[in-house]
Amino acid sequence: MNLVIIGTGYVGLVSGLGYARLGHRVVCVDRDVAKIAKLDFGEAPFFEPGLPELLREMQEAGRVVFTTDLASVINGADVIMIAVGTPAKPNGTVDLSAVFDVAEEIGKNLEHEAVVITKSTVPVGTNRKVLEIVRKAMTVAGRVDLVDLITVASVPEFLAEGTALQDFMKPSRIVIGVDDAVAATLIERLHDGISAPRVVTSIENAELGKYVANAFLATKISFINEIANIADLVGVDVTEIVRSIGLDPRIGSHFLRAGVGYGGSCFPKDVSALQQIAGQNGYNFKLLSAVTEVNNRQREIFVQRIEERLGNLKGRTLAVWGLSYKGGTDDIRESAAIDIVQRLFARGAEVVAYDPVAMVAAQKVLPENIEFAPTAVDATEGADALLVLTDWPEFREMSFETVVTHMLTPLIFDGRNFLADLHLKDLGFEYYGVGTR
């Protein structure tokens, strides 16, 4: 099948290479000339495990090409997929301008029957609007006879940064939102080779379902962080609580890891978007307001615990391990680590930070006086405390016998409970997790 994907961000590029791996012929389109040039040379524009290797493999197999010229490739496509960004506006609503701009470009250039799939996360009603824009642009271009042959579908992505390629090839489900049985069959064929349940549903169900999934997972994170805060007050261990309740199949253990809260490009904006969707339809979604409040407060509580132990932070040297919003990615969007570093700096702390892949991105948003260390151990030199803010596997593999000799005070604040089981107290460390004993 011939597939044109518009947008080469996390979703567009991973999906494009995934479909190419399934045997389809894929053209990835983006307006960013520099990004397309980089991809042409086989260089991934962001960090994702396994992505550079798959990119080169698919290029060598001739199954994927990159271009900035949509008009030159669109009329060879069986399927056209929209995978552009849908960021949050300042008021929390979704900015759909890129989606609608692409829809108009499709309509201006499309000269044959096709299925237009929206992969981007969009509010209810967006796909209907996309179809309207495409058909209007085709009508203006004089292709009235084709407008009724264009169908749209919502096929939301469920990719997690750091495991995106695996998530594409082995998803928990494939959701296909369609009105048309022929389009549904074509989209099923597009996913041949992937063994996963298919949920064929209405376009609107697929649109809303993606927001519901992310909002529910964010709710689990905020819930367990509230329990962690209670655990600290009453002297119990939240990790033992999770071990117990996680065995209940009605609850499960996923997304019940206490820490400094969620971040990234999806959860914050999708929670906000679902709140806005509810509000625009006259419903006050109070639970999601609390989810956001808890998430934001969790970061401040973590900083306050550091102050309670160290006192005034002015002039204190704090080593920070991790700047990306989670391990396995260089994405710092809505990163709790970045937020905490900014709060510490505002209180006068001297911060020395290390991250395996996200320091270049972090340098663009953090204050100039933040120091960046070449290694994790170097970051701890002369530190009054070490803060673990991202769950990078290499942090568990450190020689803590060496780390303890570098620090002024052998004190660890673990914002991810990532080192909780390493018995660091036996090495002379004073260790504080989130809700742990």
The answer to whether 2-201 and 267-432 have equal CATH topology is: yes
Binding residues for NAD(+): 30, 35, 86, 121, 161, 269, 333
Lookup: tokens for 361: 């991105």
Give the residues across from 321 on adjacent strands: 354, 388
Q: What is the pTM of this model?
A: 0.94
Helix intervals (H) in 235-310: 238-245, 267-280, 286-310
Query: Considering only CA atoms, which of 222, 217, 287 is closest in space to residue 260?
Result: 222
Q: Mapping DSSP to helix (H, G, I), strand (E, B) and coil, where does residue 378 land?
A: helix
168-207 tens-digit pLDDT: 999 999 999 999 999 999 999 999 999 999 999 999 999 9
Contact 392, 365 (CB under 8 A): no
* DSSP secondary structure letter of residue 94: B
CB 125 within 8 A of CB 300: no
Residue tagged active-site, from 82, 133, 137, 266: 266
Q: Determine the Cα–Cα distance for residues 336 and 344; give it in Å rounded to an integer.
A: 12
Q: Where are the domains of the chain?
A: 2-201, 267-432
Q: Identify residue 239 by its one-letter amino acid code.
A: T
Distance between CA atoms of residues 313 and 222, nearest Å: 27
Q: Which tokens hold the place of 99? A: 């989606």
Read off the amino acid at residue 89. K
CATH class name, domain 267-432: alpha beta
Residue 47: which of 156, 163, 158, 214 has the closest Cα?
Answer: 163
- Of 360, 363, 398, 358, give the one whose Cα is nearest residue 378: 398
- How far is Cα 115 from Cα 179, in angstroms, rounded to an integer? 11
φ, ψ (nearest 5 deg) of residue 348: 95, 5
In one-letter notation, the amino acid at residue 61 is A
How many other CB atoms are found less than 10 A from the CB of residue 52?
13
Give pLDDT, residue 86: 96
Report the distance separating Cα 199 and Cα 428, nearest Å: 53
HSE toward the beta carbon, residue 285, CA cutoff 13 A: 19
pLDDT on residue 122: 97
Sheet with 411-414, side-by-side order of all strands:
371-372, 350-354, 317-321, 385-388, 411-414, 430-432
> Locate tokens 């989670």: which residue?
326
CA proximity to 106, closest of 61, 73, 62: 73
Residues of the chain scoring pLDDT < 70: none
Topology of the domain covering 2-201: Rossmann fold (3.40.50)
- What is each CA distance from 425 to 6, 143, 421, in whole angstroms? 52, 73, 10
Q: Give the per-residue pLDDT at 159.
A: 96
Q: Write out the binding residues for substrate.
A: 158-161, 210, 255-259, 263, 326
Question: What are the Cα distances from residue 286, in Å, to 291, 298, 302, 396?
Answer: 9, 18, 25, 38
Q: Spell out the residues 6+ positions from residue 29 whose beta carbon is closer than 8 angstroms to its own.
A: 4, 5, 6, 7, 8, 66, 67, 68, 69, 70, 73
Binding site: residue ranges?
30, 35, 86, 121, 158-161, 210, 255-259, 263, 269, 326, 333
Residue 274 in contact with residue 260, Cβ under 8 Å?
A: no
H or E segment to which residue 147 belongs: none
Q: Where are the alpha helices (DSSP H) in 22-89?
A: 33-40, 51-60
Closest CA to 288 of 224, 387, 366, 214: 214
Identify the pLDDT of residue 437.
Answer: 79
Q: Is 28 a catalytic residue?
A: no
